[in-house]
Amino acid sequence: MATIKLSECNMKVIKEICESFGNKEGELINVLHKTQGHFGYLPAEVQEYVAECLHIPVAKVYGVVSFYSFFTMTPKGEHPINVCLGTACYVRGAEKVLDALKNELKIEVGQVTPDGKFSLNCLRCVGACGLAPVMSIGGKTYGRMTPEKVKEVLAEYNN
Protein backbone atom coordinates (compact mmCIF):
# COMPACT_ATOMS: atom_id res chain seq x y z
CA MET A 1 0.00 0.00 0.00
CA ALA A 2 0.97 3.62 -0.02
CA THR A 3 3.73 5.45 1.76
CA ILE A 4 2.41 8.74 3.14
CA LYS A 5 5.07 11.45 3.07
CA LEU A 6 4.42 14.47 5.26
CA SER A 7 6.58 16.97 7.09
CA GLU A 8 6.69 16.54 10.84
CA CYS A 9 5.01 19.87 11.42
CA ASN A 10 2.12 19.16 9.01
CA MET A 11 1.64 15.78 10.62
CA LYS A 12 1.37 17.43 14.00
CA VAL A 13 -1.23 19.92 12.75
CA ILE A 14 -3.45 17.15 11.30
CA LYS A 15 -3.06 15.02 14.39
CA GLU A 16 -4.08 17.89 16.63
CA ILE A 17 -7.11 18.74 14.49
CA CYS A 18 -8.26 15.11 14.59
CA GLU A 19 -7.70 14.95 18.33
CA SER A 20 -9.66 18.16 18.83
CA PHE A 21 -12.64 16.26 17.40
CA GLY A 22 -11.95 13.20 19.54
CA ASN A 23 -10.63 11.20 16.53
CA LYS A 24 -14.28 10.39 15.82
CA GLU A 25 -15.27 9.00 12.46
CA GLY A 26 -18.50 11.02 12.55
CA GLU A 27 -16.49 14.27 12.73
CA LEU A 28 -14.88 13.70 9.34
CA ILE A 29 -16.48 16.73 7.70
CA ASN A 30 -15.48 19.01 10.58
CA VAL A 31 -11.95 17.63 10.55
CA LEU A 32 -11.66 18.19 6.79
CA HIS A 33 -13.11 21.70 7.13
CA LYS A 34 -10.54 22.70 9.71
CA THR A 35 -7.71 20.95 7.88
CA GLN A 36 -8.54 22.75 4.64
CA GLY A 37 -8.70 25.98 6.64
CA HIS A 38 -5.09 25.37 7.65
CA PHE A 39 -3.59 24.10 4.39
CA GLY A 40 -5.86 25.94 1.95
CA TYR A 41 -6.59 22.64 0.20
CA LEU A 42 -6.62 18.88 0.83
CA PRO A 43 -3.83 17.10 -1.05
CA ALA A 44 -3.82 13.27 -1.19
CA GLU A 45 -1.20 12.85 1.58
CA VAL A 46 -3.25 14.98 3.94
CA GLN A 47 -6.36 12.87 3.26
CA GLU A 48 -4.33 9.68 3.76
CA TYR A 49 -3.13 10.89 7.13
CA VAL A 50 -6.60 12.05 8.21
CA ALA A 51 -7.84 8.53 7.36
CA GLU A 52 -4.99 7.06 9.41
CA CYS A 53 -5.80 9.25 12.43
CA LEU A 54 -9.55 8.56 12.32
CA HIS A 55 -9.07 4.84 11.54
CA ILE A 56 -11.26 4.96 8.44
CA PRO A 57 -10.52 3.97 4.83
CA VAL A 58 -8.97 6.74 2.75
CA ALA A 59 -11.53 5.91 0.05
CA LYS A 60 -14.24 7.17 2.45
CA VAL A 61 -12.31 10.39 3.08
CA TYR A 62 -11.88 10.96 -0.64
CA GLY A 63 -15.57 10.13 -1.14
CA VAL A 64 -16.49 13.05 1.13
CA VAL A 65 -13.85 15.41 -0.30
CA SER A 66 -15.00 14.73 -3.87
CA PHE A 67 -18.68 15.05 -2.95
CA TYR A 68 -18.68 18.54 -1.46
CA SER A 69 -17.70 21.36 -3.81
CA PHE A 70 -16.37 23.28 -0.80
CA PHE A 71 -13.46 20.87 -0.46
CA THR A 72 -10.67 21.15 -2.97
CA MET A 73 -7.55 19.20 -3.85
CA THR A 74 -5.98 22.09 -5.77
CA PRO A 75 -3.92 24.57 -3.81
CA LYS A 76 -5.18 28.16 -3.74
CA GLY A 77 -2.99 30.93 -5.14
CA GLU A 78 -1.33 33.57 -3.02
CA HIS A 79 -4.22 35.81 -4.04
CA PRO A 80 -7.40 33.71 -4.46
CA ILE A 81 -9.85 35.34 -6.88
CA ASN A 82 -13.58 34.66 -6.54
CA VAL A 83 -16.04 35.81 -9.15
CA CYS A 84 -19.66 36.01 -8.10
CA LEU A 85 -22.01 34.26 -10.51
CA GLY A 86 -25.14 34.91 -8.47
CA THR A 87 -28.23 36.08 -10.35
CA ALA A 88 -27.65 39.82 -9.97
CA CYS A 89 -23.98 39.64 -10.94
CA TYR A 90 -24.72 37.22 -13.74
CA VAL A 91 -27.30 39.43 -15.45
CA ARG A 92 -24.95 42.37 -15.20
CA GLY A 93 -22.14 40.63 -17.08
CA ALA A 94 -20.19 38.55 -14.52
CA GLU A 95 -19.47 35.91 -17.12
CA LYS A 96 -17.64 38.46 -19.32
CA VAL A 97 -15.56 39.46 -16.31
CA LEU A 98 -14.76 35.81 -15.69
CA ASP A 99 -13.75 35.32 -19.35
CA ALA A 100 -11.47 38.35 -19.12
CA LEU A 101 -9.82 36.90 -16.00
CA LYS A 102 -9.33 33.52 -17.70
CA ASN A 103 -7.74 35.26 -20.71
CA GLU A 104 -5.52 37.45 -18.62
CA LEU A 105 -4.33 34.69 -16.23
CA LYS A 106 -4.42 31.91 -18.85
CA ILE A 107 -6.06 29.48 -16.40
CA GLU A 108 -9.47 27.87 -16.08
CA VAL A 109 -11.81 28.01 -13.11
CA GLY A 110 -10.42 25.88 -10.28
CA GLN A 111 -6.81 26.32 -11.42
CA VAL A 112 -3.79 28.20 -10.13
CA THR A 113 -1.33 30.25 -12.21
CA PRO A 114 2.02 28.48 -12.68
CA ASP A 115 3.76 31.03 -10.45
CA GLY A 116 1.23 30.25 -7.68
CA LYS A 117 0.17 33.89 -7.48
CA PHE A 118 -3.50 33.70 -8.47
CA SER A 119 -6.20 31.05 -8.29
CA LEU A 120 -9.59 31.46 -9.92
CA ASN A 121 -12.92 30.31 -8.54
CA CYS A 122 -16.60 31.15 -8.77
CA LEU A 123 -19.19 31.48 -6.06
CA ARG A 124 -22.86 32.29 -5.72
CA CYS A 125 -23.66 35.68 -4.14
CA VAL A 126 -21.50 37.51 -1.66
CA GLY A 127 -24.39 39.70 -0.48
CA ALA A 128 -23.23 42.78 -2.36
CA CYS A 129 -25.71 42.67 -5.21
CA GLY A 130 -25.94 46.48 -5.28
CA LEU A 131 -22.35 46.49 -6.53
CA ALA A 132 -22.92 43.79 -9.20
CA PRO A 133 -20.96 42.39 -10.84
CA VAL A 134 -18.66 41.64 -7.94
CA MET A 135 -15.37 39.82 -7.57
CA SER A 136 -13.01 39.47 -4.65
CA ILE A 137 -9.28 38.98 -4.36
CA GLY A 138 -8.23 37.72 -0.97
CA GLY A 139 -10.28 39.75 1.48
CA LYS A 140 -10.84 42.72 -0.82
CA THR A 141 -14.04 43.17 -2.82
CA TYR A 142 -14.26 44.86 -6.22
CA GLY A 143 -17.69 46.12 -7.35
CA ARG A 144 -19.12 47.24 -10.69
CA MET A 145 -16.50 45.17 -12.50
CA THR A 146 -16.04 45.29 -16.25
CA PRO A 147 -13.79 43.18 -18.46
CA GLU A 148 -11.76 46.31 -19.13
CA LYS A 149 -11.06 46.88 -15.42
CA VAL A 150 -9.66 43.36 -14.93
CA LYS A 151 -6.13 44.20 -16.09
CA GLU A 152 -5.92 47.25 -13.88
CA VAL A 153 -7.16 45.39 -10.77
CA LEU A 154 -4.69 42.53 -11.30
CA ALA A 155 -1.88 45.06 -11.70
CA GLU A 156 -2.34 46.00 -8.01
CA TYR A 157 -0.95 42.55 -7.13
CA ASN A 158 1.76 42.27 -9.73
CA ASN A 159 4.75 43.51 -7.82
How far apart CA 118 and CA 85 sit, in angstroms, is 19
How far apart CA 11 and CA 15 sit, in angstroms, is 6
Cis peptide before 80 (omega within 30 of 0): no
CB of 84 to other proteins, least distance (A): 22
CB of 131 to other proteins, least distance (A): 31
Q: Between 62 and 157, whose beta carbon lies closer to other proteins?
A: 62
Q: Between 6 and 125, whose beta carbon lies closer to other proteins?
A: 6
DSSP state of 91: H
Q: Between 6 and 85, whose beta carbon lies closer to other proteins?
A: 6
Residue 111 φ/ψ, nearest 5 degrees = -105, 170
**Where does this chain bind other proteins (CB under 8 A)?**
1-8, 11, 44, 47-49, 52, 56-63, 66-69
Element (H, E) at 100: helix 94-105
CB of 48 to other proteins, least distance (A): 7
